[in-house]
């Protein structure tokens, strides 16, 4: 995943950026550093491609050299003012997305004064810059790396396996939740469940999982068996998990709504509120470090639950983003993803979902 985005102007700082990249590689993996937007397909929307890349980063480094403000095109127009200048557009997006934006100053450059900047990026002047000097390049980059280490979301490894007593306790508590759900006569879908002889679908997997998946609601197959994600969406989920060497038993899989709704319709407000309480109990018991929301209903529920600013964003913008928050038991990351069913209808999204799953590997 591109956690660090390096924004630079080739004519201005290509050499410095090459050196910076080599130093960063000592600390970060290549896929954690994003430098150049490439492979925009013919007909592809380049602003969308830049937006996708910038929205995924955690920290945005704007590398500014001595000619950054003044480089011109063949017509003598300042590059920074060109309508399609990648450098300015990327900075606009980073400021818009409220990323951590750090001006990295090289070749004796200073943070540009607002008067020299296009209106859309004037706020860049207010960011404190970090200078990389020629003579102390290695040490200066070391300072930058220390800063990045502090600022980036933590890289938790798999939780240490809880001792058998804790696992037994968690299993017993989840059983209680299941029992409450079975007996929940006040649940909005209880009558339908009983009439259809369906099971409620609480969820399954590792009761002490690091990663918890929250889907939308059980389909017919799930309600008949009482197991989540065993239909066509489940096949996609299994494939995605296998792609990053995970098995169902490694994670916990559940839904935001725990009973099947008639005709697989979208969950309504009453159902989301009602079953949300059961999901909250499961989160409290399992205490995952990452909650992956599959589809917009789960995304909005979880982002609202933790009252995160992203609760207003769309899944198109936020899928694959690692959103850091605090649960009462410690650090928690939320990663919204598309629902596997969306991939069934829109095959081109499969690669997007795969790429988002890749990002989970930092938690494995
Ligand atoms: N099966 C589930 O369990 N949940 C979904 O969201 C879709 C299919």
CA-based torsion, 97, 153, 336, 287: positive or negative: negative
pLDDT of amino acid 159: 55
Nearest to 61 by CA among 166, 179, 184, 151: 151
Q: Is the CB of 338 under 6 A from ligand 1?
A: no
Query: From CA 228, how far away is CA 294, in angstroms rounded?
Result: 13
Q: Which ligand 1 atom minimizes the distance to the CA of 230?
A: 1
Answer yes or no: is the C-beta of 320 below 6 A from any ligand 1 atom.
no
Q: Which of 215, 258, 294 to mutate to test the pocket of ligand 1 (most atoms within 8 A of CB)?
A: 215
Q: Quick check: CB of 255 below 6 Å from ligand 1? A: yes
The mean pLDDT value for 206-218 works out to 95
Query: Within 13 Å and on the Cβ side, how many CA atoms surround 261?
Result: 16
Contacting residues for 109 by C-beta, under 8 A, at least 6 apart: 64, 65, 66, 68
For residue 361, what are the contacts with CB-CB under 8 A and spacing of at least 6? 244
Task: Indicate if the pLDDT at residue 7 is higher than 70.
Answer: yes
CB of 340 shorter than 6 A to ligand 1? no
CB 229 less than 6 A from any atom of ligand 1: yes
Does residue 130 contact residue 63 with C-beta atoms inside 8 Å?
Answer: no
Ligand 1 probe mutation, 225, 234, 336, 338, most atoms within 8 A of CB? 234
pLDDT digits (tens, 9 = 90+) for 96-132: 887 889 999 999 999 999 999 999 999 999 998 999 9
Quickly count helices (H) and strands (E) in the chain: 13, 11
User: How far is residue 144's CA from residue 137's CA, in Å, rounded to a whole number?
Assistant: 10
**Whether the predicted pLDDT of 1 surpasses 60:** no
Name the average pLDDT for the chain.
91
Chain position carrying tokens 């009558």: 191
Q: Ligand 1 within 6 A of 203 CB?
A: no
Confidence bin at 157 (pLDDT 50/70/90): very low
Separation of alpha carbons 252 and 281, rounded Å: 14
Distance 219 CA to ligand 1 centre (A): 6
Lowest-confidence segment of 68-72, 143-147, 240-244 by average pLDDT: 143-147
CA atoms within 13 A on the CB side of 256: 26
Mapped onto helix, strand or coil, the DSSP state of residue 213 is strand
Q: Which residue has a Cα nearest atom 1 of ligand 1? A: 229
What would the DSSP string read from start to end of 77-90?
A: -BGGGSTT-HHHHH
pTM over 0.75: no
Span 293-334, pLDDT tens digits: 999 999 999 999 999 999 999 999 999 998 989 999 988 999
Q: Which ligand 1 atom lies nearest to the CA of residue 339? A: 6
C-alpha Rg value of the chain to the nearest Å: 24
Which atom of ligand 1 lies closest to the CA of 298? Answer: 6
∠ Cα 52 293 151 (to 5°): 60
Question: What is residue 45's predicted lDDT score, i.e. its pLDDT?
Answer: 84
Pocket test of ligand 1: the residue of 216, 263, 299, 341 to mutate, having most ligand atoms within 8 Å of its CB, is 216
Decide: 228 in ligand 1 pocket, CB within 6 A.
yes
> Which atom of ligand 1 is least distant from the CA of 216?
6
47 touches 41 (CB < 8 A): no
């Amino acid at each position: 995943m591109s956690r660090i985005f390096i924004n630079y102007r080739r004519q201005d700082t290509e050499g410095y950026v090459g050196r910076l990249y080599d130093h960063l590689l000592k600390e970060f993996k290549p896929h954690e550093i994003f430098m150049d937007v490439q492979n925009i397909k013919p007909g592809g929307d380049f602003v969308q491609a830049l937006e996708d890349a910038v929205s995924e980063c955690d920290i945005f480094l704007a590398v500014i050299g001595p000619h950054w403000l003044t480089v011109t095109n063949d017509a003598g127009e300042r590059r920074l003012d060109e309508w399609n200048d990648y450098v300015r557009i990327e900075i606009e997006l980073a400021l818009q997305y409220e990323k951590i934006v750090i001006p990295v100053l090289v070749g004796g450059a200073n943070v540009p004064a607002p008067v020299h900047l296009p209106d859309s990026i004037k706020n860049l002047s207010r960011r404190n810059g970090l200078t990389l000097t020629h003579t102390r390049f290695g040490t200066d980059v070391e300072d930058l790396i220390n800063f990045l280490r502090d600022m980036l979301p933590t890289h938790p490894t798999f939780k240490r396996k809880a001792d058998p007593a804790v696992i037994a306790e968690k299993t017993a508590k989840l059983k209680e939740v299941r029992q409450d759900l079975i007996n929940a006569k006040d649940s909005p879908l209880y009558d339908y469940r009983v009439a259809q002889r369906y099971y409620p679908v609480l969820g399954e997997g590792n009761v002490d999982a690091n990663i918890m998946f929250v889907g939308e609601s059980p389909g017919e197959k799930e309600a008949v068996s009482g197991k989540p994600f065993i239909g066509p969406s489940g096949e996609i989920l299994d494939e995605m998990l296998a792609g990053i060497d995970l098995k169902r038993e490694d994670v916990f899989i559940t839904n935001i709504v725990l009973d099947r709704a008639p005709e697989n319709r979208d969950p309504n407000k009453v159902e989301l509120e009602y079953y949300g309480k059961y999901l909250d109990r499961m989160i409290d018991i399992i205490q995952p470090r990452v909650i992956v929301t599959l589809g917009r209903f789960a995304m909005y529920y979880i982002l609202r639950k933790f009252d995160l600013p992203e609760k207003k964003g769309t899944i198109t913008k936020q899928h694959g983003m690692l959103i850091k928050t605090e649960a009462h038991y410690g650090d928690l990351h939320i990663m919204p993803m598309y629902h596997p069913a969306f991939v069934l209808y829109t095959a081109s999204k499969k690669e997007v979902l795969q790429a988002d799953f890749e990002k989970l590997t930092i938690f494995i």
